[in-house]
Structure 1
Amino acid sequence: MTRKIFPIPLATPVALAPMSGITDLPFRQVVGRFGAGLLVSEMIASGEIVTARPTRRTASQARAEIGDFAATSVQIAGRDPDLMAQAARIAQDQGAPMVDINMGCPAKKVVGGASGSALMRDPDLALRLVDAVVAAVDVPVTLKMRLGWDAELLNAPLIARRAESAGIKMFTIHGRTRAQFYQGAADWRAIKPVVEAVSVPVIANGDITDAISARQALALSGAAGVMVGRGAQGRPWLLAQIAAELYGSQAPEVPSGAALADLVAEHYRMILEFYGPELGLRVARKHLGWYIDAAHGPADLRAMLMREKSAERVLAMLPAALSPQRNAA
């Protein structure tokens, strides 16, 4: 089998999925510190970048360099070829080594605007977007999509074949249709027809939560790598763990006890600095909840932290909140 070359050098073929409201700059910094092959920004609407007055949020989302971690892709979404091309150029100008086109988001507000996975119902429009973005930038352009719109329209292989001819250098396929949202199990075997349809790398995505599921996804799909999404919530070291078990890279030191409390406190401060104290407190709550859940921390302290409005009190409570309950599984 011919080895498929990734569009930019990756330490390992284990990627962090773009997750709206989650894979912001602070979270990517924490994941990148443990180790990851590729980090993908949360989806950015092309119109938000181009037509709106630039904000700290959009500028930081599109910033590619994360400390010393340069393997970062900026994901853009939209349905207007010209806006998508302009957004891609902005991302490139801000240093993105790679631009990703979103054709997989199932959210109603995105699909209702004929973006995201809605594009899979209109391959001709989808290919016009691809043509515009590829022509607009010098960096590699990749594409993330689902298996299809529903069980009756499983057209990912067809779109992938056409998109590769238009210049797409890598695909990520979520093993569900848009109609499934996140229900049921991801069908990794159904990704294989896409792998067989193209000569560039394909990344398997969906329900990959550990090395066991990653290995199964690779075996069933024939993909060149895996992408981890919700499994990394509260476990930013997960990508490095998977890479160590599958590819022999250095295993991360998984923090616990005081070390975990220090990590979460640092992440919490990064969120507050990035968003400001008021918005930051709200954004941080979901991450705190995920960390506590992953650590099997006390439910009562978790509930208190979700309501707490004082950053100082949150920081003071973290060591106890992240201590496993004795009867935790």
Structure 2
Amino acid sequence: MRIGKLHIERPVILAPMEDVTDRSFRKICKRFGADVVYTEFISAEALRRGVEKSVQKMLFEDYERPAVIQIFGNSEEAMAEAAVIAASYAPDYLDINFGCPAKKVAGKGAGAALLREPEKMARIAASVVKAVSIPVTVKTRIGWDRESINILDIIPRLEDAGIGAIAVHGRTRSEMYKGTADWDWIARVKEHARIPVIANGDIWSARDALAMFNHTGADGIMIGRGSIGNPFIFKQVKELLQGGSVVTFPGFSDRIAVAIEHLRLSVECKGEKYGTLEMRRHYATYLKGLPKVSRVRDRLVRENNWQHVIEILRDYETDCERYAKEGKIREYAEYLNDHSKRLVLK
């Protein structure tokens, strides 16, 4: 995949996710092999007003590169102005969110709502491209609903606007995250596009990643929800793509250790209060499937002292070691739909 000066063979990319892809999580995913990482999506209007929380979302370290800032909005003027602000933070490229289905975004005429206004979408894209000197890409969906899938009509408009690549989530806005992503439509996009295509939707395992590449012929893939609580997926995908098999099998100790690392980074980036509070959403996925986890999770989401949280996690690791000796935990080869190992109750 070539975007501007960036050239990566079959990249595995961390998708932008609000309240998830902050600096702490990006660093974790980068360590496990994510080729490119995206910020959370950022409001163009908030950037114009200088809202500090939005500005903070654009901060990243060289370790995270290649790193991408994603913005959203429904005004050519606002998006062009926000693009200039975002570009001043020197991302490797800039991405436009034309795919978010959330009511607070699409309900205000931005994100996926612009799928119903392809001409306006193209004008916004052109205004952003014209405003900055770095490459500009787009992330979108296949259409507003199943009766109005128009992605093939949108592609040439975006290409003419100067967009350097397109990431396509294989669902419509109306489907939100329900059902199954339609990989066939992504394959059609790849057949018609003159620019690189990044495939997104329902990649939960290394096997899914390989299947996505094979099914769509995409230049790269993007992993979103499948990485939450499971940053190991990036390493597993790279192992399968490069070596033909997965050799990384995280057990309960690995998962707890990464949860602790994630918490430390969160506190480092956001301070003790918010770093601790905002980690609460991640514990359920890091610990999913482990025995008697609900009681531990209840304690974790009530604890405000991050050091005490670490103590709870370490105590739980000791409990898991005992559960394993008692035969209450066993490992099996299929993790989700892949060759990874998972811990479950017998």
TM-score of the two chains, using structure 2 as the length reference: 0.87
For 2:316 and 2:288, the matched residues in 1 are separated by 10
For 2:314 and 2:244, the matched residues in 1 are separated by 30
Q: Does 1:278 align with 2:273?
A: yes
Q: Does 1:60 align with 2:56?
A: yes
Q: What displacement does 1:241 show?
A: 1.3
121-130 vs 257-266, which moves further:
257-266
Q: Does 1:291 align with 2:286?
A: yes
2:106 to 111, 117, 120: 111
Report the counterpart of residue 138 of structure 1 in structure 2: 133
Kept in 1, the 8 Å contact 2:155–2:193? The answer is yes
More strand by share: 2
Q: What displacement does 1:302 show?
A: 1.8
Aligned residues: 323
Kept in 2, the 8 Å contact 1:237–1:252? The answer is no
Decide whether aligned partners of structure 1 residues 225 and 308 sit closer, same or farther in structure 2, where only a CA change above 3 A counts: same
For 1:85 and 1:250, the matched residues in 2 are separated by 45
Kept in 1, the 8 Å contact 2:79–2:127? The answer is yes
Any gaps of 5 or more consecutive residues in structure 1?
A: none
Q: Does 1:151 align with 2:167?
A: no
2:28 to 27, 30, 36: 30
Instruction: Give CA deviations for 1:278-327 in whole Å, capped at 9, x if unaligned.
Output: 33222110112221116667332122212222222211011233537524
Kept in 2, the 8 Å contact 1:10–1:38? The answer is no
- Counterpart mapping for 1:192-211 below 5 A: 192-211=187-206
Q: Does 1:222 align with 2:217?
A: yes
Report the counterpart of residue 42 of structure 1 in structure 2: 40
Opposite residue 58 of structure 2, the aligned amino acid is A
Decide whether aligned partners of structure 1 residues 215 and 297 sit closer, same or farther in structure 2, where only a CA change above 3 A counts: farther
Opposite residue 317 of structure 1, the aligned amino acid is I
- Counterpart mapping for 1:68-79 below 5 A: 68-79=63-74
Q: What displacement does 1:172 show?
A: 0.5
1:235 to 230, 238, 242: 230
Kept in 1, the 8 Å contact 2:170–2:186? The answer is yes
Opposite residue 36 of structure 2, the aligned amino acid is L
For 2:44 and 2:214, the matched residues in 1 are separated by 35
Q: What displacement does 1:181 show?
A: 0.3
Opposite residue 200 of structure 1, the aligned amino acid is I
Task: State the superposition RMSD in angstroms.
Answer: 2.2
Q: What displacement does 1:112 show?
A: 1.1
145-154 vs 299-308, which moves further:
299-308
Any gaps of 5 or more consecutive residues in structure 2?
A: 330-343
Report the counterpart of residue 335 of structure 2 in structure 1: none
Q: What displacement does 1:271 show?
A: 1.3
For 1:295 and 1:96, the matched residues in 2 are separated by 39
SS state at 2:202 partner: coil
Q: Does 1:183 align with 2:183?
A: no
Opposite residue 163 of structure 2, the aligned amino acid is I
For 2:194 and 2:134, the matched residues in 1 are separated by 19
Q: Does 1:173 align with 2:180?
A: no
TM-score of the two chains, using structure 1 as the length reference: 0.91
Kept in 2, the 8 Å contact 1:15–1:37? The answer is yes
Kept in 2, the 8 Å contact 1:142–1:171? The answer is yes
Report the counterpart of residue 51 of structure 1 in structure 2: 49
Q: What displacement does 1:5 show?
A: 3.0
Report the counterpart of residue 295 of structure 2 in structure 1: 300
SS state at 2:174 partner: helix
For 2:25 and 2:117, the matched residues in 1 are separated by 34
Q: What displacement does 1:252 show?
A: 8.1
Kept in 1, the 8 Å contact 2:256–2:286? The answer is no
